[in-house]
Amino acid sequence: MSPEAIIDGLFAGSIYALVALALAIVFQPTRIMNFAQGEALILGAAVAYQIVALEKLGWAAAIGLTIVLACVMGVLMERMITLPIKLSGSRNAWIIATLAAALIFQSVFNLGYFDVDALRPSPIIPGGFEVAGMTIQWQELLTIVAALAVMGLYDQFLRRSAYGRAIRATAHSSDTSVLMGIPVQRIVVLSFVIAAVISAVAGLLAAPVIFVAPAAGLVFTIKGFTAAVIGGVGSPRGALIGGMIVGLLDTIVRSLVGGSIGNFAVFAALAVILVIFPSGLFGKPMEAH
């Protein structure tokens, strides 16, 4: 196993951790596991590809436009998912609603980039450096640092801001939050928007390094979902640890054995962890709202 495989695993783990965090952010106030979350990652990759690779306008324009479009996507996603759930009255309607939203966004990206195999812009910071004979790409290091920063900032947002405390209260009990005067619907929309922005940023960071196809949103959702379950659904700290476990295990096993054995190792680890820790490494038993 090469040292570069560990760096690649930390890089991939950072991407999966950001998606897992986004899933946790939506899950906390809604108890919905948003299977359309990976499409926000594709949005970030698509904007970066369009603005940086095709239009040559630079990364500043790509980042700004991505944040704006991700906010719009978050609002649309919230309406596309929560409205059918409310109208159906079924406790399992979220499964169909989130998958339907994923397929709709996937179709839009496929139409826009039907002849593109990978949304591959140039790196934000080109090149790399060597440490003890190990080559590290600046883009990979930037992604790892960015993932840690996002996790830390979101933790501080939850603890110190009024909206963060409102999200925590809504996650504990939406009915009690309504009685306390907390605007639950606004909190739900905010959660979808924050999650979409975080996932889109993950797409910006991932696209210059790994294969991001226009139709790959569900693949990233599944990896992020696996990371979230391993770490504990709804736990931001668990999202980080779970993402790193998935990324490192997948990458290291692939480098040693090759093929699709990495996925098998990830899901085997998921099964073992859930047998020992049914709620994940840092999760708590889920309570009905």
49, β-bridge pairs: none
Q: Which residues contact 270 (CB under 8 A, 6 or more apart)?
A: 226, 229, 230
Cα 270 to Cα 136: distance, rounded to the nearest angstrom = 29
Cα 194 to Cα 59: distance, rounded to the nearest angstrom = 21
- Closest to 244 (Cα-Cα) out of 7, 1, 16, 5: 16
Q: What pLDDT was estimated at residue 1?
A: 60
Q: What is the CA radius of gyration of the chain?
A: 19
Q: What pLDDT was estimated at residue 130?
A: 83
Q: What pLDDT was estimated at residue 164?
A: 83
Cα 21 to Cα 24: distance, rounded to the nearest angstrom = 5
Q: What pLDDT was estimated at residue 155?
A: 84
φ, ψ of residue 38 to 5 degrees: the values are -65, -20
DSSP-derived letter for residue 136 is E
Cα 5 to Cα 7: distance, rounded to the nearest angstrom = 5
Q: What pLDDT was estimated at residue 289?
A: 43
Which tokens go with 83?
């409205």
Cα 256 to Cα 227: distance, rounded to the nearest angstrom = 21
128, β-bridge pairs: 137
pTM of the model: 0.92
pLDDT in tens, the chain (289 residues): 677 888 899 999 999 999 999 999 999 888 899 999 999 999 999 999 999 999 999 999 999 999 999 999 999 999 999 999 988 878 789 999 999 999 999 999 999 898 888 899 999 999 988 877 778 899 999 999 999 999 989 888 888 888 888 888 887 777 788 778 888 889 999 999 999 999 999 999 999 999 899 999 999 999 999 999 998 887 778 888 999 999 999 888 888 877 677 778 888 888 888 888 888 888 765 544 4
102 residue type, one letter: A
Apex CA 182: angle with CA 181 and CA 185, to 5°?
125
